[in-house]
């Protein structure tokens, strides 16, 4: 019974996370039909609710472009379908030909996947359910436009919180970074090459989280642009956007650091005693950064924490004779620059914040 309850709770939680976009799509579908029938005067505007649902979707993002793609796709599909079906009639080979030509026309227009698919599906509908005699192609294009505009209006009036997904995805990405930094620190402390290899393997799979974070920011930026009641969130979202690319670079540089640390451990190179402490301080600074981003404040404490940790990033403290150890030193400094940029500094400001590599 406990397992059943857990499964039900998990599914309810998953539904709750998509309840708003589902409600938006349902409302947009109904309103688009109402607008197309009541205001435009179309008797059967089936393209309107279809366009509204496709425009919104459950997986938000790129709606402004999607409206344009929908209208273009419907226009191409309906235009090709109306002309050809009027000339060659309707049947299996005619449908195949119409779909092929409609999608080819969309591709030749340099359209994306949405345009090509919408062109093909529109051509199928014209060739089967609604042949040219059942209504004008222009009416169907208008219906698609109505559905897309209604979908945008619903998004603007009932928007999601653009920071919700950004918080969640940033937590995942920054958690990957802190876990990797602490993992390398532990591996070096214990001279454990196996653990270092495990950290490296996990880092190699972290790109998906980075991509999802970037997608969340894109969606959030779109919502904050078209929804007036979310305009005040744009500044807070901007801090995440500032941090996104440097955090990606920090993960990449940490991956190089982990790879060279693994090589050093396997080759028996003696790693600097202070290295694990520096990496743990970096991880603590990333935790501070995550908290300040969630609170929507300038990450001054995280910036100061990175600077304090980087005071040991010199040849005197982290230098060594082995090749891998020298690369580790370079990556420790690179990660510091990335983290300082994530707090809002420019690259030159971040580099100037580090101590000189060696005394003159």
Burial of 336 (0-12, 13-18, 19+ CB in 10 A): buried
Whole-number pLDDT of residue 322: 62
Among 68-77, 133-142, 331-340, the least confident range: 133-142
Burial of 49 (0-12, 13-18, 19+ CB in 10 A): buried
What architecture (CATH level 2) is domain 162-353? Up-down Bundle (1.20)
The CA distance from 254 to 258, in Å, is 6
Angle in degrees, CA 133, 137, 143, rounded to 5: 120
pLDDT at 59 over 60: no
pLDDT digit string, tens, across residues 189-206: 998 999 999 999 999 988
For the residues 214-236, what does the mean pLDDT come to?
A: 76
pLDDT digit string, tens, across residues 262-304: 988 888 888 778 888 999 999 999 999 999 998 888 999 999 9
How many CA atoms within 13 Å lie on the side-chain side of 332? 34
User: For residue 288, what is the enclosing H or E element?
Assistant: helix 275-295
Whole-number pLDDT of residue 54: 74
Sequence ranges of the domains in the chain: 2-157, 162-353
pLDDT at 149 over 90: no
Whole-number pLDDT of residue 58: 44
pLDDT at 40 over 70: yes
Alpha-carbon distances, residue 322 vs 210, 263, 329 (angstroms): 32, 10, 11
């Amino acid at each position: 019974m406990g397992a059943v309850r857990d499964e039900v709770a998990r599914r309810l939680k998953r539904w709750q996370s998509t309840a708003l976009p589902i409600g938006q799509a349902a409302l947009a579908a109904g309103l688009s039909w109402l607008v197309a029938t009541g205001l435009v005067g179309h008797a059967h505007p089936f393209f309107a609710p279809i366009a509204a649902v496709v425009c919104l979707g459950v997986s938000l993002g790129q709606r402004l472009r999607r409206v344009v793609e929908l209208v273009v796709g419907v226009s191409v599909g309906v235009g090709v379908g109306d002309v050809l079906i009027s000339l060659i009639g309707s049947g299996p080979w005619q449908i195949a030909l119409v779909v092929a030509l409609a999608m080819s026309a969309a591709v030749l227009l340099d359209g994306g996947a949405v345009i090509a698919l919408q062109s093909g599906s529109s051509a199928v509908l014209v060739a089967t359910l609604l042949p040219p005699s059942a209504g004008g192609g222009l009416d169907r294009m208008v219906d698609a436009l109505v559905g897309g505009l209604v979908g945008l209006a619903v998004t603007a009036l009932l928007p999601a919180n653009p920071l919700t997904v950004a918080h969640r995805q940033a937590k995942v990405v920054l958690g990957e970074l802190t876990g990797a930094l602490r993992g390398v620190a532990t591996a070096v402390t214990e001279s454990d090459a196996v653990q270092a290899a495990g950290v490296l393997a996990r880092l190699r799979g972290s790109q998906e989280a980075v991509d999802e974070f970037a997608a969340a920011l894109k969606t959030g930026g779109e919502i904050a642009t078209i929804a007036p009641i979310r305009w005040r969130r744009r500044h807070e979202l901007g801090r995440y956007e500032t941090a996104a690319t440097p955090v990606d670079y920090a993960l990449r540089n940490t991956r190089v650091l982990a790879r060279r640390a693994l090589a050093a451990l396997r080759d028996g190179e003696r790693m600097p005693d202070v290295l694990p402490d520096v990496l743990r301080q970096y991880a603590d600074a990333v935790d501070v950064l995550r908290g300040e981003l969630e609170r929507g404040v300038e990450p001054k404490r995280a910036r100061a924490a990175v600077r304090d940790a980087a005071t040991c990033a010199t040849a005197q403290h982290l230098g060594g004779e082995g090749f891998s150890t020298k690369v580790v030193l370079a990556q420790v400094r690179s990660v510091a620059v990335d983290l300082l940029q994530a707090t809002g500094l420019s690259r030159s400001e971040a580099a100037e914040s580090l101590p000189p590599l060696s005394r003159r």
